[in-house]
Each structure stands twice: as structure tokens, then as C-alpha cells.
Amino acid sequence: MKYEIQKEGKFKFIETGGGSETLMLLHGLFGALSNFESILDEFGQRYNVVVPLLPIYELPIRKVSLSGLTEYVEEFVKFKKYKKVHVLGNSLGGHISLLFAISNPKVIGSLILTGSSGLFENAMGSTFPRRGDYQFIKTKTESTFFDPNVASKELIDEVYDIVNDRNKAIRVLATAKSAIRHNVGDKLYTIKAPVLLIWGNQDQITPPFVGEKFAELIPNSRLYFVDKCGHAPMMEHPKQFNQFLDSFLKDVVEKQSA
């Protein structure tokens, strides 16, 4: 990663400082900052793109939950004194984005979800990745994508290290269970901000019907599918993803400025 991680108070984050509009990116449970590299490169000079590092492995065990992570994001936004944010979340980061948007409607400029949990997810399947079994972790990580080659050795190694660290593994399980409990289906109608949904046609974790259900339940939303694409469209098809995002943000900012 060529972007420097900054530290202010208890928060660690990347911030590009470009433009007057803030685009905040929230990563998933096994998400690395590198997942968002194409978005940082494309939008970093035109928008203030900020990526807080979610303290999934640092929170006290009693606070390891979606509520605890959403509170952390709320504290971060207040600490940074952002008046308005466009929030983009992938996977668990999408789920946190939804909870943040529902609780903080006045701060949300727009919401972008890709492969988001919150209605249905199949992240763990029927088994948690076996400790010490590198091939199992490799296969599991590759299944996140339509093209298994997108799963770099660096990414596989990172997931392997998490699973084999008992402290981190406990927190991953606690967070995943919390995500299943926090179904937001009955609250989506309250989101009034414009919402962009970008979904992989071959997403096995949050399949295409999940994107369709989000579009049905969120009033002001638009849904795009990306073909030959799994759970992380911004990684597998960055050019197409960025085109959808660019068009959406320009439209939103223009309408909100009028």
C-alpha cells in the first residue's frame, strides 16, 4: 500500500484530503486496506477519501459486535468533524454502513453497498476455516472471487494469520454471529439518502438475490450487476465499479448542491 496510515487519538485511518466531499470506505471482516486501492487511486484527488481501520481485533471482547463497530465509526466521524459523508461499505463494512446510516440520517450524503451483509450472508458456510490448514484457507479465500487468481498470496496469508491467531479468531466468530443477529430488513425503509448497490453476478456469500432484496426494500436506490464477479466487485472489476460510483456520486453531489 502506498497510502500512509495516520493516527489521531485512538483512530487509525487513511485520508487523501482531496476535494470538499468526504467518501468514507468501510472494509469487511477479512478485508484489507488494499481492497480499496483502486477507489483511492481513482477518487483520492477529487474527494476526501477516508478509510478508518475498524478495530475488529482491538475492541474489548464484550464490545465485539456490529453495535460496537458502528459506535466506533460514529465516534470517528464526530472526532474528524465531518458534516456530511458518502459511505461505501463492502461485506461486513456494508452492514456497518447501513447501521450507521439508519442511526445518523443527517450526516449521510449517500450510501454505496457492495456485497453487503444485513439481510443474508453465507460467509462461514457450515464450518469455520480450520486452523493450520493453509490449503483450506486458500480455497475458502479464492471462493470469494469469480476469478480465484484475484486472491493474492498476500491476501491468503493475511486470512491464514487471522484464523490461526486465537484472539483474532474468537473476535471474527463473535462479529460474524453479531452480523447474523443484526438483520436490518425491517429498518431499510427509513433510509432516505440516495443508495447505490453494486453486486457481483457470481457472489456466493451474498448472492444476487440479496442485492435485489436491498433494492426492493430501500426506497431511493439503484442496483447494478457486474458479470463474472464475486463478492468484491471493486477488486475484480475496478474500472466498471469506479464508473458506476463516479456517475452516482456526480449525480448526488450535483442534486445536493442545487
- Model confidence over 61-120: pLDDT tens digits? 888 889 999 999 999 999 999 999 999 999 999 999 999 999 999 999 999 999 999 998
Question: Looking at residue 130, what is its pLDDT?
Answer: 62
Question: Looking at residue 128, what is its pLDDT?
Answer: 55
Residues in the chain: 258
Question: Looking at residue 150, what is its pLDDT?
Answer: 92
The model's pTM is 0.94
Instruction: Cell numbers for 212, please give them.
Output: 435485489
Give the residue from 39, 52, 131, 139 showing the smallest Cα distance to 93: 52
Question: Looking at residue 178, what is its pLDDT?
Answer: 87
Q: Is 49 exposed, middle or buried (0-12, 13-18, 19+ CB in 10 A)?
A: buried
Cα separation, 86 vs 249, in Å, equals 8
Question: Looking at residue 124, what is its pLDDT?
Answer: 46
What is the residue type of 59? L
Question: Looking at residue 110, what is its pLDDT?
Answer: 98
For β-strands 11-15 and 48-52, DSSP reports them as antiparallel
Cα separation, 9 vs 2, in Å, equals 23
Give the residue from 40, 48, 54 showing the smallest Cα distance to 12: 54
CA distances in angstroms from 3 to 24, 33, 153, 154, listed in the order given = 15, 9, 20, 17
Cα separation, 108 vs 63, in Å, equals 25
Residues 208/201, Cβ–Cβ less than 8 Å: yes
CA dihedral 70, 122, 162, 37 (to 10 degrees): -70
For residue 143, count other CB atoms closer than 10 A to its CB. Answer: 15
Fold held by 6-123+183-257: Rossmann fold (3.40.50)
Up-side HSE of residue 246: CA atoms within 13 Å toward CB?
15
CA distances in angstroms from 85 to 106, 138, 168, 174, 223, listed in the order given = 10, 35, 30, 28, 20
Give every residue of the chain whose pLDDT is below 50, as ranges.
124-126
